[in-house]
Structure formats: C-alpha cells, structure tokens
Structure 1
C-alpha cells in the first residue's frame, strides 16, 4: 500500500507508519533521543544521503514531531537544529521498545550500546505494559480488542 494511502487508513498503526515508517526515520529519532540536533551530526552518524535526510527531517517537522530552529556558528552561514517536541518525545517508548527487543532477540556481541536509566536515580528502566493502577501486566495477559470504530 502506498504511504499516502496509509494516512487515510482507519488503522492507527498504518497512519503512524505513514509518518515513521520510511527508512532512516527511526534512526534519526534514536539519535535525537541521544542528544543530536544538527543536520551534519545526523548525516555523519547515519551515512544517509543529504536529500533523503532533508526529506525525513521535513516530514518529522511537518507532523509536529520535531521543530526546525535556526542557529549560526561564528563565521558560518545560518543553519538549523532539530529538536523533539512533546509529541516527538512520546516516541521514546517506541525507540526504547525496539532497542529492548533487539538487545534480547538480535544481541550485539559486545552487549547493549545504550541503556535507559531513571534520571534521578540512574536505576535501569525498561518498556512494559502497565495498567491504570500502575501494575505491570505480563505479555500473555494483554489482549488487542477491536472497538466499535473498527471497520466492518
């Protein structure tokens, strides 16, 4: 299905993939969560073509996931930095979940390259399902239930 058609889908996963599913997008977000903000840093870390990177960043800005903010180093022309918005920061759980899955099922021989910790205590944290009372729910107790909005 073409990306444009995904945007019109009743499926929120399809709509999300219409924005996030292009190659490089999740890797750009991974770097943003690690503190990168500049085009040259994204490009240098990923080795992605400049036109492709510009397109992906433009999509992220267009959908309110990142902002594009001007800056100028002394003696250089004005350029842009890209910062995660509150909407973009919500994607941290997606990036962390992918990393957690990869660390478990496709492990790197040297071990994880990034760990997530609680800011105040440096205690390790992980992605999990949690109910409204704050209790973790085991995967085998999680159901995906269709709602009345599900197309028939």
Structure 2
C-alpha cells in the first residue's frame, strides 16, 4: 500500500494537526525556543543551531508567514533586521515548557545534567504543567475526549427548531 504524502494540514479540523504546518519540524521549534531565549538575528540563530543558511532562511520565512515571528528593524540601528516573537509566537510558550518538561522527565538519565527553566524572580525551577478541568480537577488523558464541531455547535436545523 502506498502512503500519500500530506503537504498541508490547513483543512484539518484537528487542533494538533493544523499547527504542524507552522511549527511541525524540529528546527522551527528550536528557532522559537531560541527566540524565547533572546536571540533575534539570523546569525545568532545560525550559530545556536548550526543550521545551514538556506534551511534557516526557509524556516524563518515560514515562521514569519505564519505570524509566529515578525521582522523589525535591528534594535542597534544597523541595516540588519531582528526576528521577534509575535503575540501568536509568545502563545507557544506553554507548548515549549510542556515539551521541555517531558524531555527532562523521559530523555535524560536520572543523574544526567541538563539545563533547567527557572523563574527569574525566585531562581526556582518552573513547576510542572498540569492540565486542569474548569472546576479545578487535574485531568488525565482518560478524563478527556475529542468531539467533532457538530457535537458542540448546533446545526442550522437545530437552531431553526429552537427558535
């Protein structure tokens, strides 16, 4: 059986699949991570990631096209441009924290050193993220279900019937 290669998730109803067009490769997530860490220039991203210029340029263009990063005049007044996170890009922070915490828990040996995300104000590690219900209960995967939009929003027929 031959697999069809999907080039876009733009038509997907899934909130996991659709963002993959913007941030679905590892390099893009690492660029966003570096932007959160204060990197702004093409050369800074290249030095941090060791990525070829052409691949980095493609990833940066994609992140700008998806409104995750924006280009602004260089903060030092030079002819260069800076890449900065947009509001949409900053909203990825919880995703990166969750990925970091998962990586710390499952990708390092118990005694293996790794960087740690800390609260600047206290110097203490950021607490583990935990999904909570609207009533405050901790939620596990078995406590949730994905529902089709038609199960949430009334159809035209249902709205007409209710009137």
TM band (smaller chain): 0.7 to 0.9
Residue of structure 2 in register with 1:39 after alignment:
42
Say what the alpha-carbon RMSD is for the aligned residues. Answer: 2.3
Question: Which runs of 5 or more structure 1 residues have no equivalent in the other structure?
Answer: none
Question: Is the partner of 2:146 in helix, strand or coil?
Answer: coil
* Alpha-carbon spacing, 1:51–1:143, altered in 2? closer, same or farther (3 Å): same
Aligned residues: 145
Q: CA deviation at 1:51?
A: 1.0
Greater RCO (CA < 8 Å, at least 6 residues apart): 1
Residue of structure 2 in register with 1:130 after alignment:
132
Report the TM-score, using the length of structure 1 for normalisation. 0.82
Q: Distance in 2 between matches of 1:138 and 1:11?
A: 20
> Is the 8 Å Cα contact of residues 75 and 82 (structure 2) preserved in structure 1?
no
Residue of structure 2 in register with 1:2 after alignment:
6
> Is the 8 Å Cα contact of residues 64 and 85 (structure 1) preserved in structure 2?
yes
* 1:2-151 alignment, distance < 5 Å: 2-4=6-8, 6-71=9-74, 78-107=79-108, 109-117=111-119, 119-123=120-124, 124-133=126-135, 135=136, 137-139=138-140, 142-149=143-150
Q: Distance in 2 between matches of 1:11 and 1:132?
A: 21
Question: Which runs of 5 or more structure 2 residues have no equivalent in the other structure?
Answer: 152-163
1:38-92, Cα deviation, whole Å (9 max, x unpaired): 1111100100111111111111111111110122757x6x111111111111101
Larger Rg: 2
Report the TM-score, using the length of structure 2 for normalisation. 0.77
- The farther-off stretch of 107-116 and 53-62 is 107-116
